[in-house]
Amino acid sequence: MSNRTFTMIKPDATSKGYTGAILDQIIQSGFKVKAMKWIHLTPSQAGQFYEVHKERPFYGELVEFMSSGPIVAAILEKDNAVADFRTLIGATNFKDAAEGTIRKKYASSIGENAVHGSDSDENAAIESNFFFSNFERF
Ligand code: CMP
């Protein structure tokens, strides 16, 4: 169990003006922001981030979507961060997400699902290192 996870607020949510509400829900749920960046990924960067999904049929669509507008990337801290954050955001498909979760409230499809949350401590570290140097986290 680690006390840090990584998140992105995705282009669908930033373009609809949900950034503030999502950050507020994250902070009100007990997560502390340890690093944060507002950034527009290139297709190459988005492809690299999601390389693990390269063989999936939705990979091209995912890369196009994730490079379609700005995102907020952040490192979050809380006890049991990875599991608790995944509970907070809800299932990948918002239709299966529990009431009150971030995806249930703000996602519009399985691909455009408002937020990303790391699925393991190992991936939280890899994903955090993709976006942030040691000088950018506190
Ligand atoms: P995320 O948690 O960021 O991890 C991988 C992403 O791929 C996922 O959220 C969705 O945005 C996307 N994704 C997963 N399954 C599908 C699917 N069936 N069709 C389109 N996009 C998907």
Instruction: Give yes or no for residue 110 CB within 6 A of ligand 1.
Output: yes
pLDDT band at 2 (very low <50, low <70, confident <90, very high): confident
Catalytic residues: 116
pLDDT digits (tens, 9 = 90+) for 76-135: 999 999 999 999 999 999 999 999 999 999 999 999 999 999 999 999 999 999 999 999
**Domain 4-136, classified CATH 3.60.140.10, yes or no:** no
pLDDT digits (tens, 9 = 90+) for 28-45: 999 999 999 999 999 999
Instruction: Give yes or no for residue 68 CB within 6 A of ligand 1.
Output: no
How far, in Å, CA of 80 to CA of 34, rounded?
15
Do 106 and 118 form a contact (C-beta atoms < 8 A)?
no
Do 97 and 103 form a contact (C-beta atoms < 8 A)?
yes
Helix orientation angle between 81-89 and 19-28, rounded to the nearest 10 degrees: 130
pLDDT of residue 51: 96
Q: What spacing in Å lies between the alpha carbon of 60 and ligand 1's midpoint?
A: 11
